[in-house]
Amino acid sequence: MSATTEIPQQAPGATSLPPAVEERKGLTKKEVAADHPTWCPGCGDFSVLALYFKLIEKRKLHHEKITTVSGIGCSSRFPYFVQAHGVHFIHGRSLPFASGVSLTRPDIHPFVFSGDGDALSIGGNHLTHTARKNIKMTLVILDNWVYGLTKKQTSPTSPLGYKSKTDVWGAVDHPINPMKQLIASGATFVARTTHTQPNHILQMMEAAMDHDGFSVIECLSECVEFYEGAFDASNPRKGGQFSLVPADHDVTDEVAAYKLADAPFPGHFGIFYKASRPTKNASELAINAKLSEPFKGQKDWQILQKTFNKMK
Amino acid sequence: MSEPVVAAPVAGAAKNAMNVSEAVIRIAGNSQDGIQAIGGFLARLAGRSEQEVMTFMTIPSTISGGPSIFQVRIGSGEVLSAGDEADVLLAFYQHSYEDHVGSLKKGGIVLYDADHVEPRPEWLETYRHVGVKISALTVESIGGTAKDKGKNIFALGLLANMFDLNTAKLEQLITERFGGKDPSVVNTALSAFHAGNGYSFGGVVETFRLSESQRHGTSQVVMNGNEALAYGVIAAGVRFGTAYPITPWSDVMEILRRELPKYGGSFVQCEDEIASICMALGGSYAGRLAVTGTSGPGLSLKTEALGWAVMAEMPIIIIDVQRGGPSTGLPTQVEQSDLNIAVYGSHGDAPRVVIAPADVEDCFYTAIEAVNIARQYSVPVIILSDQAISTRIEAFAMPDLEKVCQELPLDLTPVAEHKPYDPTAPDGITYHKPPGTRIANGIYPIATGLEHDVYGHPSASPKVHQTMNAKRRRKLQKLATTLATPKVFGPAEGEILLVGWGSTQGPIKEAVDRLRAEGFQVSSLHIRNINPLPPGLDSVFAAFKQVLTVEINDEGLYGFGQLAGLLRAAICDPRIGSITKTDGLTWKVREIVERVQLKIAAGAKKS
């Protein structure tokens, strides 16, 4: 060892700490808001942020338990606007990061905010595998069908024919259908909402948070700067139609969910698919319980000593 | 058998054996023959007999089949390398014989399977040939088919016979190894062993006896470098890890996956290399300092997230078991060519810590050192191991685990305020507070890859970027001042100082001994802390006329190995040169000796 390992456990001035037992009120919007959002006026993301605040308020979440994680993109600026523990990670990798949080901290339910490029393009592999592993957390994909932060390039959800700076003649690559992809990947909670329906967003967020597993919400979020009017067909105020998932849809029916996702735009909104499957969090705990059982009551060094004795 | 001593008859010895202080045995066969098992048994026996041991192996990168060797050097004195030349070659096939007879010293013994090997007349003069129908005799002793199962244990018996090894200890090792399975498996193995051990060489070749170790009462543990790293990480208190399989790193993740749950921890196999480091960073962020590991190609993939760890000042342990590169390179062979990516690999200015363990024992302690530095300086630490150290077996003193093992409990102590990136903190050293930590003033931190203010909120101000770059650098400059200057092996002044790093410490020391015996004024120095470098190297170097790094990498465009490049940048001493090679194999002592002699001759010509 080249250095001592004294790490201060308490900051100076620890006397001003709150008492151990106390009645704690829910946070107000003022207490949970941090930086003023840097989004363009009229951006759909404002609405999602407002509903996240509402969720925190309604569910009486406290600062220290809120963990907001994001990657790179307009929507990934999210954590800076929330007064709580937050992570602004690298492009496309917020899911494995949040998985590390979820798997080591059963007391925390990470919320990940991502865009269509972040979640479905550069981070596509992680989306599939986080779904397959069913790691407990919520992912909200703020889908605007375009790359906004880099100023109007084709995104993996841009419809065919969309004219961007990288496809001036119109997009030619078949767009990803996030619902279909998530269902096929094994996500256990797949829902769809849109920024113009605040109550529905909150409803979806609450259901996602309460789901024991990997819950994903695709939230249409209009980019007024580079894709104005993209979602008008889903907005009744613009003459469109906001159709909920039919009441008789069986959310545990994978094939039915896939068919529902096949409807042409604007399609349906609500929970498409919800299944109960062991989370990786639970599976790992079960492995732990089984493997640590023979060593109950022993100190860690004694367990290692046993192994080393066999390596003599 | 470098110093053969005529044996005084030992009481109870059935045969006249020659006492030797050490032996180098090379076992050559195919990868599925279980030759690693023979080597493993010999290494473990040496460990239990308080002898020193070092092994060397090659494996083909195919799953099954393909030539493979395992070399064991056992000695009662210090064993620094796996030995340049073998005393005995145990050859299972014609190709094993033909490819490896050259590794024998003149007069050495070829012990071959007479069922598969036809001795070549031109070699009969140079080497002593002893043929034993290993395959047939194995089938005879344990029955079964000619699938050759068990012939490795028969051959172990032959070697035990030839070297008068302690059969009771070997029987015990065989029983431990095959115990737990069907009892008939142990009995079959013991039958094969006894058949080999009872084979009569009929006086064709003498037998040997290894001198007893002078060290008594030292309990030793026997393992390879990958095992030592994995258990070191556990001893250090790390309870969360993530990785993607890649040779030769995979053993470490397999051990951690199997072992961590016993300690209440877990290890996750991820979808790719990038996810692995990201998930590990998530664990560290959540307050569970995490480990990830890989080999060359994986380190390339991890560098973006590594840069985030530097920027967000997040502790993490990254193990790189180096192999030949670039690209897919030489997956199963050794190289020390990842030093540059470990030290510099990132966009932007991204200072991180790099430590290279010098031997198997050092792998264990380096893991603990790395964890403590990562925590104390809130910084990523890369452990640079390599293929040679990862697969070679050594015996070392049993660590005092009660003393060495540490626990890293989750710390969620509430704080009054928290500025995770306060550049005015002493030496720029600040600490991360995981989620769950309550902060009384209600201002919570963001861990971020953007340049940021004291709370982690974005700031593109030029002044902030300059201050924060300095903060991240100053931490490591502080760390450097706490490191000890490495000790010179040999006199502290002379003609040439050899400077090594990583797995080559042993052969370099042995080369120094040999060169000094020949009258050359050569000493050596081994650097474990690659980044930051320890202080005082400049004055150590000043006492020598020439400084030569000894590295397994290419001399590069400007004629220097990767460590030499770093040292020249740090010390600005034009006398720093290097001797390098990239043949996929670790340095032989003889190669170092010859290359140093060439350098001396070239120097003499100039002056």
Nearest to B369 among A1, A16, A308 (CB): A1
Which chain A residues contact residue B172 at CB under 8 A?
Answer: none
B-contacting residues of A 184-223, CB under 8 Å?
Answer: none
Residue B11 has pLDDT above 90, yes or no: no
Q: Specify the length of chain B in residues.
A: 607
pLDDT band at B9, cuts 50/70/90? very low
Pairing of strands B240-243, B446-448: unpaired
Tell whether the model's pLDDT for residue A248 goes beyond 80. yes
pLDDT surpassing 90 at residue B182: no
Say whether residue B467 is in contact with chain A using an 8 A CB cutoff. Answer: no
What mean pLDDT, rounded, does chain A reach? Answer: 93
State the Cα–Cα distance between residues B528 and B525, nearest whole angstrom: 10
d(CA B29, CA B70): 9
In which band, very low, low, confident or very high, does the pLDDT at B210 lie, cut at 50, 70 and 90? confident
pLDDT at residue B80, rounded to an integer: 86
Helices (H), A124-177: 124-133
Q: What strands lie across the sheet with A268-274, from one edge to the other?
A: A243-244, A268-274, A189-194, A214-220, A137-143, A111-115, A67-70, A85-88, B446-448
Burial B487-505 (b: 16+ CB within 10 A, else e): ebbbeeebbbbbbbbbbbb
Lowest mean pLDDT among B177-181, B234-238, B362-366: B177-181
The confidence band for B408, taking pLDDT boundaries of 50, 70 and 90, is: very high
* pLDDT on residue A23: 75
CB–CB of B438 and A80 under 8 A?
no
- pLDDT digits 0-9 by tens, B126-150: 999 999 999 999 998 887 764 557 8
The lowest-confidence range among B1-15, B286-300, B389-403, B506-520 is: B1-15
Gyration radius of chain A's alpha carbons:
22
Angle made by CA atoms B7, B9, B10, in degrees to the nearest 5:
105
Judge whether residue B439 has pLDDT over 60. Answer: yes
Q: How many CB atoms lie within 10 A of CB A288?
A: 17
Q: Two tokens at A219?
A: 């939230």
Residue B206 has pLDDT above 90, yes or no: no
- DSSP bridge partners of B383: B319, B355
Distances (CA, A) of A280 to A119, A134, A188, A277, B38: 20, 6, 12, 9, 40
Which pLDDT band holds residue B16 (cuts at 50, 70, 90)?
low
Please answer yes or no on whether A308 and B264 come within 8 Å at the CB atom: no
Cβ–Cβ contact B256 with A under 8 A? no
Which pLDDT belongs to residue A20?
54
Average pLDDT on B476-490 reads 98
pLDDT digits (tens, 9 = 90+) for B214-223: 766 778 999 9
Confidence of residue B471 (pLDDT cuts 50, 70, 90): very high
Out of A200-204, B80-84, B219-223, pick the least confident. Answer: B80-84
Averaged over B4-16, what is the pLDDT? 40
Residue A15 has pLDDT above 50, yes or no: no
Which of B285, B393, B477 has the most A C-beta neighbours within 10 Å, making it the best mutation to test the interface with A? Answer: B285
Neighbours of B39 (CB within 10 A): 24
The model's pTM is 0.94
**pLDDT score, position B62:** 63
- Tell me the mean pLDDT in the region B235-249: 97
The one-letter code for the residue type at B599 is: K
C-alpha distances in Å from residue A48, one per residue of A87, B73, B281? 18, 67, 27
Residues 6+ apart with CB under 8 A from B357: B225, B229, B363, B365, B366, B383, B385, B389, B502, B503, B528
Rounded CA gap, B596 and A57, in Å?
73
Bridge partners for B385 per DSSP? B321
Answer yes or no: do A291 and B417 touch at CB < 8 A.
Answer: no
Q: What is the ipTM of this complex?
A: 0.94
The count of CB pairs under 8 A between chains A and B is 237
